[in-house]
Amino acid sequence: MVGTLENRVALVTGGGSGIGRAASLAFGREGAKVAVADVNADAGEETVSAIKGFGGENTFVHVDVASSAGVQAMINQVVQTYGRLDYAHNNAGIEGDFTARLHEYTEETWDRLMDINLKGVWLCLKYEIEHMLEQGRGSIVVKCGDTALMHY
């Protein structure tokens, strides 16, 4: 490990795959304690195992970011486990239905997309910021922009 983030704590939502997995591994390689959060427990645990493989300290947190209680519990678990929260990468998100045009979406599909991709980001920010303000510092990255809503 390089160690530039030693003694720091990072939380990555959507850490079980894609960009979230890559970010989790990067934080771990740099010496941060990483909380890998995902709704997919198997994928999240795989990321945790990969970080442990090169000596990093980390934990898996099961969360649906669309749930206020779930996000609060996630943040509280991270802070209780590591005593702080220095970095957050709010990466959890889902894609639109590429087999349907926007006007063909069901209301249920649209609501789930908005609950995860918009409300989920807001909930994470809401509770992360509270802890970061209390400790006097912190950094947050929000991944945006890979969801295609229109397909014609």
Which element (helix H / strand E) includes 10?
A: strand 9-13
**What pLDDT, in 10s, does the model give residues 30-58?**
999 999 999 999 999 999 999 998 888 89
Q: What pTM did the predictor assign?
A: 0.91
In the prediction, which pLDDT does 90 show?
A: 96
Please answer whether residues 29 and 39 qualify as being in contact, where contact means their C-beta atoms are separated by less than 8 angstroms: no
CB atoms within 10 A of CB 3: 10
Neighbouring CB atoms inside 10 A of 120's CB total 25
pLDDT at 150 over 60: no
CATH code given to domain 9-120: 3.40.50.720
